[in-house]
């Protein structure tokens, strides 16, 4: 297939890409602020209630064997840190609203940060209804741009390096290139997560695959280490945001190239359908009756 036939589908200019990205960014910022206002107090109440029940239970248990109050508190802190850290309710932090907003409109839904109040849940319904299409438009723009960049690089490579005047099968080669890029990106992101979050590579690969495909089980969450170092925390947060955007853009790019590949053939015209029907009719009419001649219809003279 020639180069002109391969270049199908809409293309987006730089202004459109920037505008859609900024629209999603502003929308996430807006949602983060609203969720922060609606959910902060409820999160504090849940933590305080759990803390009170936890302290009463542990004090009752440990006081039977330990008389020193200081020792009791140390033991309680160690138990909480060693066994209950993942299930212990957390105070609402600055990233609470950001987590809900991004997880909602990307449809990942890890479940580690969720709205607890009735106003927060109602706002989420409205927010996600508007935000999911906005995110889809942005990812569609990014994916389409990446698709055309990959195609142009393949065409450039074949023309300049391989000296082919008319590159062929660009769609199929683009699919292979995008899948290879996705595997490489997923591996690199997983390798960085091994260093940041102290995961082994198989676990990191699993977590990011679940994130990339928006399955979002929530058993492990990228950026969930709760580091006390502000520099490490900031780096981790930026890395997670970039990784999620890159991952979802690659998924959108895969959908673009697969769509182009499926729809690459030109729909048949009316003339094509008529020719096909005539060809089918002629192929079925292989047996033709011979016309009856006069000599066959009239009796022979010697038989009279």
CATH of residue 167: 1.10.287.70
Residue 7 lies in a domain: no
Residue 216 lies in a domain: yes
First to last CA, the chain: 72
Residue 287 lies in a domain: no
- Nearby residues of 207 by Cβ (< 8 Å), 6 or more positions away: 190, 193, 199, 220, 221, 222
Range(s) of the domain holding residue 105: 13-266
Q: How many structural domains comprise the chain?
A: 1
Reading the chain (304 residues) residue by residue, the pLDDT tens digits are 444 444 445 567 888 889 999 999 999 999 999 998 998 888 888 888 888 888 888 778 777 777 777 887 888 888 777 777 666 767 777 778 888 999 999 999 888 788 989 999 999 999 999 999 999 999 999 999 999 999 999 999 999 998 888 888 888 899 999 999 999 999 999 999 998 888 999 999 999 999 989 888 888 888 765 666 777 777 888 898 899 999 899 999 998 888 888 776 555 566 766 776 677 677 666 555 555 454 444 555 554 4
Q: Which long-range contacts (CB under 8 A, 24 or more apart) does 7-16 make?
A: 7/148, 7/151, 8/260, 8/263, 8/264, 9/144, 9/147, 9/256, 9/259, 9/260, 10/144, 11/144, 11/145, 11/148, 12/141, 12/144, 12/145, 16/141
Residue 283 lies in a domain: no
Residue 278 lies in a domain: no
Judge whether 43 and 116 are in contact, CB under 8 Å. yes
Residue 288 lies in a domain: no
Residue 302 lies in a domain: no
């Amino acid at each position: 297939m020639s180069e002109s036939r391969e270049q199908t589908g809409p293309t987006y200019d730089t202004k459109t890409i920037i505008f859609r990205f900024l629209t999603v960014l502003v929308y996430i910022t807006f949602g983060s602020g609203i969720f922060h206002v609606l959910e902060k107090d409820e999160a504090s109440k849940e933590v305080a209630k759990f803390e009170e029940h936890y302290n009463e239970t542990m004090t009752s248990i440990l006081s039977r064997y330990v008389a020193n109050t200081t020792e009791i508190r140390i033991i309680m802190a160690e138990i909480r840190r060693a066994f209950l850290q993942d299930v212990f309710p957390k105070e609402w932090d600055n990233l609470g609203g950001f987590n809900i907003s991004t997880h909602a409109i990307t449809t990942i839904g890890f479940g580690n940060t969720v709205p607890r109040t009735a106003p927060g849940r109602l706002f989420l319904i409205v927010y996600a209804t508007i935000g999911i299409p906005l995110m889809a438009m942005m990812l569609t723009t990014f994916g389409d741009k990446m698709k055309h960049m990959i195609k142009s690089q393949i065409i450039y490579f074949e023309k300049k390096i391989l000296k082919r005047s008319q590159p062929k099968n660009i769609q199929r080669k683009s699919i292979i290139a995008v899948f290879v890029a996705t595997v490489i990106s997923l591996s690199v992101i997983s390798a960085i997560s091994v260093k940041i979050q102290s995961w082994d590579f198989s676990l990191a690969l699993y977590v990011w695959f679940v994130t990339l495909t928006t399955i979002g089980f929530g058993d492990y969450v990228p950026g969930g280490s709760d580091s006390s170092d502000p520099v490490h925390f900031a780096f981790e947060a930026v890395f997670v945001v970039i990784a999620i955007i890159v991952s979802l853009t690659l998924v959108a790019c895969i959908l673009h190239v697969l769509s182009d590949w499926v729809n690459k053939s030109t729909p048949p015209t009316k003339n094509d359908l008529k020719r096909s029907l005539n060809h089918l009719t002629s192929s079925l009419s292989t047996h033709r009756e011979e016309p009856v001649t006069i000599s066959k219809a009239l009796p022979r003279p010697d038989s009279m």
